[in-house]
Amino acid sequence: MIRGHTLVWHSQLPSWVSSIGDKTTLTSVIQNHIANVAGRYKGKLYAVSSHAEIFNEDGSLRSSVFSRLLGESFVTIAFQAARAADPNAKLYINDYNLDSNNAKVQGLVALVKRVNANGKLIDGIGTQMHLSAALTALAGAGTEVAITELDIAGASANDYTTVLRACLATSACVSITSWGVSDVNSWRASSTPLLFDGSYRPKAAYNALVGAM
């Protein structure tokens, strides 16, 4: 089961995208980009994160070329393009610091409800964190919830199983994705956060997860 990530992101944009100054051009760029990328993998992915990290901590939209020119509508534009490109893939919106029922969670849930008010475009919410209160709050959007970028500094077996139990206790939580396989390939390798060590040997956390399932 493969999850695609991500179609629209504020960071690492080509300079020509960041310098776009009119709504029509930017809308076309979003639509063409998604048609090409999502269309290339049509039928091969279980789910795609259409958007990642579009919120500030207070629940407002992060400033980007997309939000500045198109406001909130860039979310709907992108999800419509993704649905057209791959009708069978689950479409997710993804963010971090969703680990309590905070302002960011509330802003995200409210946006998902607005976008889906006239027909479901957003199938699920991906959280890059993991605790049960937040999962319950996110499920209030009426979509699936998935833990999409899990790594835990030190890879404590107890911490990993706590995340698993939180997901299992939330009926809307459908999957957990580890943010890498081996510590050697982790974006923060020095904190040894993954389920396999630098030699691809399973850690105690891996065995604990298998036992808990």
Active site residues: 53, 149
Residue 33, CA distances (Å) to 36, 37, 48, 105 in order: 5, 6, 14, 28
The DSSP code sequence of 87-134 is TTSEEEEEES--SSS-HHHHHHHHHHHHHGGGS----EEEESS--HHH
Q: Do residues 50 and 31 make contact, with C-beta atoms less than 8 angstroms apart?
A: no
Segment (H or E) for 177: strand 173-178
Q: Which amino acid is at 159?
A: D
Segment (H or E) for 173: strand 173-178
Q: Do residues 94 and 51 make contact, with C-beta atoms less than 8 angstroms apart?
A: yes
Distance CA(174)–CA(3), nearest Å, equals 13
The DSSP code sequence of 26-75 is HHHHHHHHHHHHHHHTTTT-SEEEEEES-B-TTSSBPPSHHHHHHTTHHH
